[in-house]
Structure 1
Amino acid sequence: MDYMVFESINNLSETFSFLNPFMKFLAGGAEYLFYAAVIIYWFTRTVKNRRMIFIAVISAAVALAISMLLGDIFYRDRPFVTHQVFQLVPHAMNASFPSDHATASFAIATSIWLFRRKEGRVWLILAAAISFSRVWVGVHYPLDVICGMLNGVLCVLIVTLIFAAWLPAQKFMGTIFKIYNNIEQSIWAKKG
């Protein structure tokens, strides 16, 4: 079933080839929009944004660690290794399951959505587009991106609950913010 859905999506790259440059961008370059978002939101210097990005980064790191573990336990070859596919982007022949792109993009997008609903919707749509494009270009099966998405979203929800309800986690975040703010202030003081 997973391969049948993969094949129908991947075959779109031949039927609608005019979309291939956009899908290649989504599959390989759109992740940089998430990196830019992390930097921009952090440097807007509001407590809400910094808390959001702190949760996003911790969640993405945890989710990617889980993804690596799942990839080792449930190793699965990429589609282009075992099938004839329309592979539009080069990729190493490493574990296909789960998708790291889906994992990280959904972790960050979900974090943004929890703190900033309107903007978060846009980031969730972008994360979904990235995930879909990874199937389109032939480097992931649909189940890979679905599991990556679930991993990213669940990690954000759990990390958010931990930092909302557990006092040691709140103190840890407060300490990190205090250290960072002291460093930032000393840098600005030297420049001023």
Structure 2
Amino acid sequence: MNFNQMDYQLFHAMNEWGRTASFLNPVMRLLANDAFYLFFIGLLVYWFIRNENNRKMVAESVIAACAGLTISWILGHLFYRDRPFVSHTVLQLIDHPANASFPSDHALGAFVIAAAIAMYRKKDGMIWLILAALIAFSRVWTGVHYPTDVLAGALIGILVAAGVHWAISHSFTLSRWLQACIQFYEKYETKIWPQHSKNEPRATAQEKRL
């Protein structure tokens, strides 16, 4: 049995759980289709907490995600692989175009953001990594990816996030450039949404009337 056959056998076993444990299918559809948006919501929440480390974390996440998805696009063209439902009869639980299957963009995107968060916030990062793993698992369960597609996506995502974090942490130029970009944004943000220091005394009712 060659590697592709082993990959298909594992896919088939996982995909068949959609029949034997069909009560979980609504959860798997939700994870496969919509759970990824939680990462975008999470990044927005972290960003607008307006903490310096959070903003560096979010910026690194976006940079790493862009780099990771670029790598995925290149690999998808160099090593094109049909989706499972194109080559085999599968239990397909969600709609999906018949484009490149390898690597999984959903798995890559989820893991690259989760890993980037884990570099700064370990406890939060563990929760995000678990969610990323569930998304990757659901993509196989629902019949749109092979196991190696999501494993490759997860591995690329983690490595890219770690690489971007290492590069920014060890390069004075990159670190200053990132900080300058954040400060440029904050310069205009504070004009629309002023940030008050916790130690700044609040105006009294009489002062407000004046």
The TM-score normalised by the length of structure 1 is 0.97
What letter is aligned with 1:170? Answer: S
Give the alignment of 1:15-164 within 5 angstroms.
15-164=20-169
For the Cα contact (< 8 Å) 2:60–2:116, is it kept in 1?
yes
1:12 aligns with 2:17: yes
Q: 164-173 or 8-17: which moved more?
A: 164-173
Aligned partners of 2:115, 2:55: CA distance in 1, in Å?
Answer: 15
2-structure distance, mates of 1:49, 1:17 = 40
Structure 1 or 2: larger helix share? 1
Paired letter, 1:90: D
For 2:80, the aligned partner's letter is Y
Q: Distance in 2 between matches of 1:146 and 1:37?
A: 23
How far 1:188 moved relative to its partner? 2.5
Tell me the amino acid that sits aligned with residue 41 of structure 1. Y
- 1:185 aligns with 190
Distance in 1 (CA, whole Å) between partners of 2:148 and 2:96 is 18
Aligned equivalent of 1:165:
170
* Matches of 2:76 and 2:43, distance apart in 1: 26
Q: SS at the partner of 2:96?
A: coil
Residues in 2 aligned to 1:174 and 1:118: alpha-carbon distance in whole angstroms = 25
Larger Rg: 2
Q: String of CA shifts for 1:34-57, please: whole Å, max 9, x gaps.
A: 010010000000011111111111
The answer on whether the counterparts of 2:119 and 2:165 sit within 8 Å (CA) in structure 1 is no
Q: Which amino acid aligns with 2:122?
A: R
Number of residues paired by the alignment?
A: 189
Alpha-carbon distance in structure 1 between the residues aligned to 2:193 and 2:12 = 55
Distance in 1 of aligned mates of 2:42 and 2:127: 12
Q: Following superposition, which runs of at least 4 residues in structure 1 exceed 4 angstroms of deviation?
A: none
CA distance in 1, matches of 2:165, 2:16: 39
Instruction: Output the CA distance in 2 between the equivalents of 1:129 and 1:182.
Output: 39
Equivalents in 2 of 1:107, 1:101: separation in Å?
Answer: 10
Could you tell me which amino acid in structure 2 is paired with residue 81 of structure 1? V
Aligned identity (percent) is 48
Kindly provide the amino acid, as one letter, of the partner of residue 54 in structure 2.
N
Question: 2:140, 2:165 → 1: CA distance?
Answer: 30
Q: Deviation per CA, 1:23-80: give whole Å up to 9, x if none.
A: 0000000001101001000000001111111111100110000000000000000000
